[in-house]
């Protein structure tokens, strides 16, 4: 608690300093834009809505004006689905859903979103217009762009990854790059982004002059964070509404900025690494890297830049036995200690062995799950045949015969009859086992990702050392520019002249 108070007091000191800067006319009126929701109802999970709501509240609590674009905007009608909590009793028709339908959908409910002050829809044409207006209006002000939703992979180029928007529309990283360039120009006021969707790494091209290729940074100051690379799925997007289950990048990243866990409890680690009283976006990212036990290999624009920068004569070399001591090496040591990995010679082989073990575990669990499927299908088909022999109208769910079944209350009796069949209990067991295996696969994938993350941190530590040793002045300046942008706190209260990286 005292640590919390200490952090709070530093925060107060920072606020006082901000107030002094306001007096000096140095305060920027920074804004945030939240874009969220799925591209259609069945892909618009409750977690996305809860994420957007939670992030919006964190930003508003810091007096940051927030503009929210969500699914269909303010149109009435359902645009979000969520799953009933686990403790909710099974519905009367659950046996029918298990045998004839989709058990997951049986526990799914639909409603209109409950977000306050939604400015508009995320439908591509409207979003392009409205987001363009915001980008232009805030061209000389800092802007934070946060996306919570889904994304799709690009078959040929990182800049082709998409934001999957309402009405099954989409916007590629290349198109957003063009929009930002057109509306914001070469503004030195930072545009910072947080993209948390699958394949989000492609959006790091926003920080570059050319959306498609090259290391040169954009004229305008841009930097950000993504939950994954341009080639991997991200964790998250559950229909569950139990926030304790969430392990997505948004949850870890914004918990660090909010200085508390999502459920309101105190963080067990102070994200303010340099103890200056303000958590920067980069500190929040490093916090997420340290705390997240998920399938995400999240990355910042500076890390993405470092990976692209590595010159040809270094790229294929084995890494040094002892990487340079920097923040990535320190994070590696912390995470390795947490995972009980001894810091000894040959640690790379230890990690690779662990990774192989976890990956083979994933494969074995997937194989077991795949083997269950035919058995489950056979049981369902047998039960369907038995039931439809007695109630033929069951085979035509959108017919008048079916309507009569439903209207007479016969569906409940059929459900009871199904539940009494001997093979029904076996089906329930198989479906429960399927769910357990799904969770086990996710757990094994998270364990595998931890090994990959450790290997990646070693690589980043090496890359940073290589930049210092082999990078020219332009390279180092580009990297420092990205770092300085990432190291800005959530709410900016300093002028552009202070964009100097405090990185060692």
Interface residue with another protein among 117, 353, 404, 436 (CB under 8 A) is 353
- Of the two residues 317 and 381, which places its CB atom closer to another protein in the complex? 317
- Of the two residues 184 and 458, which places its CB atom closer to another protein in the complex? 458
Does 348 sit near another protein (CB under 8 A)? yes
Tokens linked to 84:
């009933």
- Of the two residues 349 and 390, which places its CB atom closer to another protein in the complex? 349
| Beta carbon of residue 161, minimum distance to another protein (angstroms, whole number) | 12
Q: What is the DSSP letter of 162?
A: E
- Of the two residues 194 and 230, which places its CB atom closer to another protein in the complex? 230
| Beta carbon of residue 312, minimum distance to another protein (angstroms, whole number) | 4
Interface residue with another protein among 20, 22, 275, 317 (CB under 8 A) is 317
Does 205 sit near another protein (CB under 8 A)? no
Does 321 sit near another protein (CB under 8 A)? yes
CA distance 13 to 11: 5
**294: nearest Cα among 151, 461, 459, 448:** 448
Q: How far is CA 503 from CA 20, 174, 207, 426, 482, in A?
A: 25, 30, 19, 59, 11
Tokens linked to 145:
């762009």
Say how many CA atoms lie within 13 Å of 27 toward its Cβ: 16
Does 1 sit near another protein (CB under 8 A)? no
| Site size toward another protein, by CB under 8 A | 29
Question: b/e per residue, 83-103, with b = 16+ CB within 10 A?
Answer: bbeeeeeeeebbbbbbbbeeb
Residue span binding another protein (CB under 8 A) among the ranges 14-22, 131-139, 343-351, 431-439: 343-351
Q: Map residue 130 onto helix, strand or coil.
A: helix
CB 238 within 8 Å of CB 148:
no
Q: Pattern 416-435, binding to another protein, x per CB under 8 A? A: --------------------
**Residue 80, burial from CB neighbour count under 10 angstroms (0-12, 13-18, 19+):** buried
Does 398 sit near another protein (CB under 8 A)? no
Query: Phi and psi of 234, rounded to 5°?
Result: -105, 155
Q: Is the dihedral of CA 226, 228, 234, 235 positive or negative?
A: negative
Does 216 sit near another protein (CB under 8 A)? no
Neighbour tally for 157: CB within 10 Å: 16
- Of the two residues 62 and 357, which places its CB atom closer to another protein in the complex? 357
CB 127 within 8 Å of CB 69:
yes
**147: nearest Cα among 48, 54, 255, 245:** 48
- Of the two residues 349 and 385, which places its CB atom closer to another protein in the complex? 349
Does 469 sit near another protein (CB under 8 A)? yes
| Beta carbon of residue 174, minimum distance to another protein (angstroms, whole number) | 17
| Beta carbon of residue 152, minimum distance to another protein (angstroms, whole number) | 15
- Of the two residues 322 and 502, which places its CB atom closer to another protein in the complex? 322
Does 318 sit near another protein (CB under 8 A)? yes
**148: nearest Cα among 229, 297, 251, 77:** 251
Does 373 sit near another protein (CB under 8 A)? no
CA distance 160 to 295: 23
Interface residue with another protein among 78, 132, 319, 443 (CB under 8 A) is 319
| Beta carbon of residue 390, minimum distance to another protein (angstroms, whole number) | 52
Q: Pattern 282-311, binding to another protein, x per CB under 8 A? A: ---------------x--------------
Does 312 sit near another protein (CB under 8 A)? yes
Interface residue with another protein among 137, 231, 413, 476 (CB under 8 A) is 231
Q: What is the dihedral of CA 247, 156, 302, 178, to 10 degrees?
A: -100
| Beta carbon of residue 460, minimum distance to another protein (angstroms, whole number) | 11
- Of the two residues 120 and 202, which places its CB atom closer to another protein in the complex? 202
Q: Which residues bind another protein (CB under 8 A)?
A: 156, 229, 231-232, 297, 312-313, 315-321, 346-353, 452, 455-456, 458-459, 469-470
């Amino acid at each position: 608690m005292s640590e919390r108070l200490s952090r709070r007091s530093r925060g107060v000191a920072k606020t006082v300093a901000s107030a002094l800067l306001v007096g000096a006319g140095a305060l920027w009126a920074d804004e945030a834009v939240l874009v969220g929701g799925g591209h259609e109802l069945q892909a618009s999970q409750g977690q996305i809505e809860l994420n957007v709501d939670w992030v919006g509240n964190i930003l508003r609590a810091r007096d940051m004006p927030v503009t929210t674009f969500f699914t269909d905007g303010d149109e009435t009608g359902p645009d979000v689905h969520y799953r009933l909590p686990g403790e909710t009793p099974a519905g009367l028709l659950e046996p029918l859903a298990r045998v004839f339908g989709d058990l997951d959908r049986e526990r799914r409910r639909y409603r209109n979103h409950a977000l306050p002050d939604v400015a508009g829809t995320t439908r591509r044409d409207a979003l392009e217009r409205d987001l363009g207006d915001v980008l232009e209006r805030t061209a000389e002000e800092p802007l934070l762009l946060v996306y919570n939703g889904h994304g799709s992979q690009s078959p040929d180029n990182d800049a082709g990854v998409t934001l999957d928007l309402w009405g099954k529309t989409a916007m590629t990283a290349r198109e957003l790059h063009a929009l930002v360039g057109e509306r914001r120009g070469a503004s030195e006021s930072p545009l910072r982004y947080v993209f948390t969707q699958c394949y989000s790494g492609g959006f790091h091209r926003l920080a570059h002059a050319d959306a498609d290729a090259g290391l040169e940074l954009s004229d305008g100051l841009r930097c950000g964070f993504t939950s994954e690379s341009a080639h991997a799925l991200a964790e998250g997007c559950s229909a569950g509404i139990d926030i304790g289950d969430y392990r997505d990048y948004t949850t870890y990243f914004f918990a660090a900025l909010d200085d508390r866990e999502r459920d309101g409890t105190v963080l067990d680690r102070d994200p303010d690494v340099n103890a200056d009283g303000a958590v920067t976006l980069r500190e929040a990212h490093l916090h997420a890297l340290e705390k997240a036990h998920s399938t995400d290999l999240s990355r910042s624009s500076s890390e993405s830049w470092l990976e692209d920068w590595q010159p040809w004569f270094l790229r294929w070399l084995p890494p040094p036995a002892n990487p340079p001591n920097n923040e990535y090496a320190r994070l590696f040591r912390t995470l390795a200690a947490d995972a009980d990995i001894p810091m000894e010679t040959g640690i790379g082989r230890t990690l690779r062995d662990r990774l192989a073990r976890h990956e083979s575990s994933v494969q074995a669990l997937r194989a077991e799950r795949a083997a269950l499927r035919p058995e489950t299908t056979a049981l369902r088909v047998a039960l369907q045949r038995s039931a439809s022999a007695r109630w033929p109208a069951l085979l035509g769910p959108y017919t008048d015969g079916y309507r009569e079944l439903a209207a007479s209350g016969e569906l409940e009796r059929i459900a009871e009859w199904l539940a009494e069949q001997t093979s029904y209990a076996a089906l329930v067991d198989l479906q429960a086992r399927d769910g357990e295996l799904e969770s086990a696969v996710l757990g094994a994938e998270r364990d595998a990702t931890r090994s990959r993350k450790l290997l990646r941190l070693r690589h980043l530590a090496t890359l940073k050392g290589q930049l210092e040793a082999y990078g020219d002045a332009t390279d180092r300046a580009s990297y420092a520019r990205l770092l300085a942008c990432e190291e800005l706190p959530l709410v900016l209260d300093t002028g552009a002249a202070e964009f100097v990286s405090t990185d060692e």
